[in-house]
Amino acid sequence: MFKDPLHEEFGSWALGFAPYGGADVGEVTAIAAAVGDGDDNAFYDAWRAAADRLAGSAKDAEAAGHVASAREYSLHAACFYAVAYHPIYGVPVDPRLVDAFHAQMAVFDTAMRLNDPPVESVSIPYEHTTMPAYLVRARGHERETRPLLIGTNGYDATVTEMYFAFAAAAADRGYHCLFFDGPGQGKLLVDDGVPMRGDWERVVTPVVDFALALDGVDHDRIALTGWSLGGYLALRAASAEHRLAACIADPGFDGIWSGILSMATMAGLPREAVEALPDADDGTLRALQAGIEAEPHANWGVLKRGFWVNGADNLGDWLKAVEPFALGDRARDIRCPTLLTTAENDVLGKGAPALLDKLTCPKTLLEFTAAEGAGDHCEMQNRSLLNRRVFDWLDGVFGV
């Protein structure tokens, strides 16, 4: 629908949220037409205008007593604000990104407040600050003790998007769901400038501590799920946090670092230069940067998103920052039943079968195909199918 490939990637994510109240196809088509041949500014303006219009409709609907409509307008607006600022990631942080993020969180909070019953907004203690989170209780079983699904995010999504991705589906399936943004994500990144860390077990352990103090949580049936980079983060956390009774990695992959080494090899760097990474001389860094700048997706993913999220301002420092994002031998430390996904056209999941072989815990691999409409990254164009298969697996593990 969008002429620019990056715009297509960002814009099509909204379609993945359609089954769970995030967007409608006609809305996204209309926005694509408004963007036309435009640049990142045109993309932002079109999505922001649509989000602002929906947010205004939400206020009008609530004032008129149309609570259901107000909630639905607010969910669409939250989805659209999040899409709007993706192309303008980077440092210095664009004020438009900050403003859209705050608008996104405000309308999402409205939607959660208008939910029946209301979704709980909570703060999870973490080091010297707190992590924003939401607790969606199992639909129809809100006051009962139920299994809990903890949701962790990836490299560039924010907490609101996990509601559409799996939290709403979890509640429909009889699970309580606690989903949060950690360092390098959402508020901690946008407002506080806290970079992401590779040792995600130090992030998830306080989340599990918090979850165990909640009413209605079955302490023996707590699962952790992560999507996109969160697939690695979830596995890394499960390698040390053994109070988890199940782990889901969507997709299953072993972190950023192995991909960097593959990228450097494919770029034609000498073997000795690749083996020396993350330490690199100026010539190696120039060659790598030239290759990254020449490819729009890599340019956005590394020089814009990567530098910002990992707290780096040059390629050498970024390489050092992402080296710890590697599962390695820790795969054998995962004890709980673990599910890996791999989608046909998703490069992040290509190593899932090899990673499965390294796991010594009870393990399952789910494969998704383009023929099913689920062959892309995180199965975004068929999240309904992903959720059916994942929750069927988790039902079996937990005896739900």
- Mean pLDDT within 264-291: 86
Structure tokens at 278: 């993350």
Contact 361, 350 (CB under 8 A): no
According to the model, what pLDDT value does residue 123 have? 98
Domain boundary among 74, 92, 116: 116
According to the model, what pLDDT value does residue 96 have? 98
Residue 283 vs residue 54, higher pLDDT: 54
- Residues 51, 156, single domain; the answer is no
Residue 134 has pLDDT above 90, yes or no: yes
Environment class of 192 (CB within 10 Å of its CB; exposed 0-12, middle 13-18, buried 19+) = exposed
In which residue are the tokens 């980077």 written? Answer: 90
pLDDT band at 118 (very low <50, low <70, confident <90, very high): very high
- Residues 278, 338, single domain; the answer is no
Q: Which residues contact 45 (CB under 8 A, 6 or more apart)?
A: 38
According to the model, what pLDDT value does residue 262 have? 84
3-state secondary structure of 153: coil
- Residues 4, 33, single domain; the answer is yes
The CATH number covering residue 197 comes to 3.40.50.1820
According to the model, what pLDDT value does residue 291 have? 87
- Residues 136, 242, single domain; the answer is yes
- Residues 209, 345, single domain; the answer is yes
pLDDT band at 153 (very low <50, low <70, confident <90, very high): very high
According to the model, what pLDDT value does residue 273 have? 85
Domain boundary among 289, 322, 355: 322
* Per-residue pLDDT tens over the stretch 181-234: 999 999 999 999 999 999 999 999 999 999 999 999 999 999 999 999 999 999
- Residues 229, 358, single domain; the answer is yes
* Per-residue pLDDT tens over the stretch 18-70: 999 999 999 999 999 999 999 999 999 999 999 999 999 999 999 999 999 99
- Mean pLDDT within 243-258: 96
According to the model, what pLDDT value does residue 248 have? 98
| Lowest-confidence segment of 10-24, 93-107, 235-249, 272-286 by average pLDDT | 272-286
- Residues 284, 208, single domain; the answer is no
According to the model, what pLDDT value does residue 326 have? 95
Active site residues: 228
H-run or E-run covering 248: strand 246-250
pLDDT band at 12 (very low <50, low <70, confident <90, very high): very high
According to the model, what pLDDT value does residue 261 have? 87
- Residues 296, 339, single domain; the answer is no
DSSP string, 285-313: HHHHHHHHHHSHHHIIIIIIIIHHHHT-S
Q: In what order do the strands lie in the sheet with 363-368?
A: 120-126, 129-136, 176-180, 146-152, 217-227, 246-250, 338-343, 363-368
Task: Supply the mean pLDDT for the chain.
Answer: 96
Residue 246 has pLDDT above 90, yes or no: yes
d(CA 73, CA 152): 25
According to the model, what pLDDT value does residue 364 have? 98
Number of domains in the chain: 3
The dihedral region occupied by 121, where left means phi > 0, alpha psi between -120 and 50, and beta the remainder, is: beta
Number of continuous H segments (helices) and E segments (strands) in the chain = 18, 8
DSSP β-bridge partners for residue 152: 180, 226
The CATH number covering residue 108 comes to 1.20.1440.110
H-run or E-run covering 176: strand 176-180
Residue 268 has pLDDT above 90, yes or no: no
Range of the domain at 125: 117-255+325-400
- Residues 330, 209, single domain; the answer is yes
In which residue are the tokens 């699962």 written? Answer: 223
Q: Where are the beta strands (DSSP E) in 47-168?
A: 120-126, 129-136, 146-152
Side-chain half-sphere exposure of 382, counting CA atoms within 13 A: 17
Q: Which amino acid is at 320?
A: K
- Residues 153, 204, single domain; the answer is yes
N-to-C CA span, the chain = 40
- Residues 56, 195, single domain; the answer is no
- In the chain, the percentage of residues whose pLDDT exceeds 70 is 100
- Residues 301, 343, single domain; the answer is no
Residue 353 has pLDDT above 80, yes or no: yes
pLDDT band at 259 (very low <50, low <70, confident <90, very high): confident
Contact 16, 380 (CB under 8 A): yes
According to the model, what pLDDT value does residue 267 have? 76
Q: Which residues contact 198 (CB under 8 A, 6 or more apart)?
A: 236, 255, 256, 322, 323, 324, 325, 326
pLDDT band at 274 (very low <50, low <70, confident <90, very high): confident
Domain boundary among 101, 116, 131: 116
According to the model, what pLDDT value does residue 266 have? 78
